[in-house]
Amino acid sequence: MNLKDFLLSQGQNVSRETFLALGVYHEELIKWQKAINLISKTTVEEIEGRHFLDSAQLLKFIPPSTKTIIDVGSGAGFPGLVLSLLQPTSVTLIESDQRKATFLNHIILKTNSTAKVICDRVETLGSLKADLITARGFAPLKRLLELTVPLFTPSTTFLLLKGKSYLEEINEAQKEWDFKVSVHSSITDCQGKILEVKEVSKKVK
């Protein structure tokens, strides 16, 4: 399934301007990849499916009440920057690597995205709170929860793109955290999963 067909299947009425913006994003990613290692070299030829569609599949799981989205460890902007182009809620991208943060700001300017970039370590950001936290390839679930404590409340939802070790990550995190988790299959990777994590709280020892 390509990105356009997926968006149509979800009832997403995506404008021509949005697809043009994604095209610009695609072109700039290829240009910058020559100087900065933004994505795996093996996926450069499949950016739409491996990165854009992979990010876009989170759309159907975003709670309707969501007003603030924080994407941690944004890297090249997946999934956060793609989501900022495909839906109206403003997205904050957290990326501690200055070069990658510069790339993200460049794409925001080129595409007129409403996203904002914070170049800092996620654990230092105590003043932000998120209705939704997204991440792809940032950290194992237990570590991610530890690092994002300043950002979430009991009502925050996490949408996390994970690989084949997702069950190990869930079991390890459950040793120290209480949460509800739903596991959804990825449409871009037969081994990939989307973890929908809610009602997170630290276990009382």
Q: pLDDT digit string (tens) for 95-121?
A: 999 999 999 999 999 999 999 999 999
CATH of the domain at 183: 3.40.50.150
Domain interval for residue 128: 3-202
Phi then psi for residue 56, to 5 deg, are -65, -25
User: Can you read off the two tokens belonging to residue 43?
Assistant: 């996926």
CA dihedral 51, 53, 57, 63 (to 10 degrees): 80
How far does Cα 75 stand from its chain's mean position?
Answer: 10
Sheet holding 193-202, edge to edge: 116-118, 91-94, 69-72, 132-136, 157-162, 193-202, 177-185
Say how many CA atoms lie within 13 Å of 40 toward its Cβ: 6
Domain count of the chain? Answer: 1
205 versus 144: the higher-pLDDT residue is 144
Which own/partner pairs from 31-37 qualify as long-range (CB within 8 Å, at least 24 positions apart)? 32/103, 32/106, 36/99, 36/100, 36/103
Q: pLDDT digit string (tens) for 37-71?
A: 999 988 888 999 999 999 999 999 999 999 999 99
What would the mean pLDDT of 167-178 be, rounded to a whole number? 98
What percent of the chain is predicted at pLDDT more than 90? 86
pLDDT at site 31: 95
What percent of the chain is predicted at pLDDT more than 70? 100
pLDDT at site 14: 85
